[in-house]
Amino acid sequence: MFMRFQSLKGFRDFYPEEMSARRKVLDKIFETVRPYGFREVDSPSLEMLELFRVKSGDEILTQTFNFADKGKRDVTLIPELTPTMARMVVEREKSLKRPIKWFSMPKMWRYEEPQSGRLREFYQLNVDIFGVPGPEADAEVLAAGIDIMLKLDLEGQFIFKVSDRRLMQGVLESMGIADRREAVFAAIDKRYKVTHSEFKELLAKADLDDLKIGQLLSILDSRGPMLEALQKLRGLISLENEQTRAGYESLEKLTDLLVMYHMEQYCELDPSVIRGLAYYTGTVFECYDTKGELRAIFGGGRYDKIIELFGGEPMPAVGFGMGDAVLEILMRRAKVWPEEKLTTDYFILTTSAQYMETALFLAQALREKEFIVETDLLGRNFGNQMKYANSIGAKYVLILGEKEMAGGQVSVKDMKTGEQRTEEVIRFLDSVTK
């Protein structure tokens, strides 16, 4: 008796109908980022484990599919793309023209407990700009991210939460608690994942007294539309601190740029957005569903030290990552996920095997015009061929029967209306266009 197998936990199969819908989504994403001048790159699925350990420390060991290969090298399936992109930039940093604008959407792997919106194997879009120090690049990647969501018919379903790590670093310095930054940032990063009382407890564990907790909460609560929230925040912070001033002024400039892109309405200032990864150096942002029911759809920001970290010359960088799993959940909830069905332009029905030469001539001529065409490969009868044509979503059935073949003709049946006409094969081919 043979064993039956199934896919591993946290991994997915995509059958043709499902893949058809996914392809439409992926194509729309790529068609959105390319006009911004982002160029597609590709890279290995397997990298040296040390590449990710340099960025994330030993913690990454428990989160990746890593192993020693036959050459006794520690390698891993890639859990993210930023270290790989940095490696690629460093390898050609002398010849690459600035700005470097890249995108890619490979498969990635993380050895984590699967849950809604988080899988062990997933696709992630990465969009990055290297070589631009100012908020102009931050605005460009944000605009591309917002545009993706709009092109996917998700207007009203999402919001980008924006902040700047320097702003909050400066705030902690001004409050005299800079030495507790890691603990405070870790607590802030969990703010929306715990209750309000639990959040205050986390701040207390970071050794903040009630006064400082109150001050910090006032600043964190100054969130809202970018222009209004920045004005409110201005009254709560001191710009005498260099870090605070740099972060605040960058956010002001970023807001001005978003207005120029006509995209400021899709963003809000939220000082609680810290991003858990310590390598972020300036602007940070996350994209959420407006109902606040899902995990972050996007995450990104500025990481100006990343190229140096991997042995390159100093080079500013900004970008984001967007996983496919949460995006699909949101699109399904918003009822804008494409219909999962097969579509075929033409199915060529033959009533006799002797008509196969004409069928293949027709098929190849139509395929050269970029139509999707199928012929009967199983020698089925008329009825079963029609059933199959229906099952593959054929728009038209081209019938080659005894009558048609005798006159050098083909009958064209519209599967939606049921209407049928007969015309010469050559005239038919001359008349059809994509």
pLDDT of residue 276: 64
Q: 277 pLDDT band (50/70/90 cuts)?
A: low
Domains assigned to the chain: 16-157+290-334 (3.30.930.10), 344-431 (3.40.50.800)
* 150 burial type by CB count under 10 A (0-12 exposed, 13-18 middle, 19+ buried): middle
pLDDT of residue 182: 86
pLDDT of residue 327: 98
Is 81 assigned a ligand-binding role in the annotation? yes
Residues 6+ apart with CB under 8 A from 244: 166, 167, 169, 170, 171, 173, 174, 237, 238
185 closest CA partner among 117, 248, 253, 279: 279
Is 265 assigned a ligand-binding role in the annotation? no
- Length reported for the chain: 434
Is 280 assigned a ligand-binding role in the annotation? yes
Residue 12 has pLDDT above 70, yes or no: yes
* 57 burial type by CB count under 10 A (0-12 exposed, 13-18 middle, 19+ buried): exposed
Is 368 assigned a ligand-binding role in the annotation? no
278 or 261, higher pLDDT: 261
Overall average pLDDT of the 45-62 stretch: 91
Is 80 assigned a ligand-binding role in the annotation? yes
CB 118 within 8 A of CB 73: no
Helix (H) or strand (E) holding 74: strand 74-77
Is 53 assigned a ligand-binding role in the annotation? no
Residue 371 has pLDDT above 90, yes or no: yes
433 or 103, higher pLDDT: 103
Is 82 assigned a ligand-binding role in the annotation? yes
pLDDT of residue 2: 82
pLDDT in tens, 381-414: 999 999 999 999 999 999 999 999 999 999 999 9
Sign of the torsion formed by the C-alpha atoms of 212, 216, 219 and 221: negative
Query: Torsion angle, CA of 240/241/242/248, rounded to 10 degrees?
Result: -80
The C-alpha atoms of residue 69 and residue 52 are separated, in whole angstroms, by 17
Rounded to the nearest integer, the mean pLDDT of the chain is: 95
pLDDT in tens, 163-205: 999 999 999 999 999 888 888 988 888 888 889 999 899 999 9
pLDDT of residue 59: 83
Residue 41 has pLDDT above 70, yes or no: yes
Residue 95 has pLDDT above 90, yes or no: yes
3-state helix, strand, coil in the chain (%, to 5): 45, 20, 35
pLDDT of residue 193: 83
Q: Left, alpha or beta for 142 (phi > 0: left; psi -120 to 50: alpha)?
A: alpha
pLDDT in tens, 141-166: 999 999 999 999 999 999 999 999 99
DSSP-derived secondary structure for 300-366: EEE-TTHHHHTT-----EEEEEEEHHHHHHHHHHTT-SPP----EEEEEEESSGGGHHHHHHHHHHH
Q: 37 pLDDT band (50/70/90 cuts)?
A: very high
Residue 242 has pLDDT above 70, yes or no: yes
96 or 189, higher pLDDT: 96
7 closest CA partner among 111, 121, 109: 121
pLDDT in tens, 303-324: 999 999 999 999 999 999 999 9
Is 128 assigned a ligand-binding role in the annotation? yes
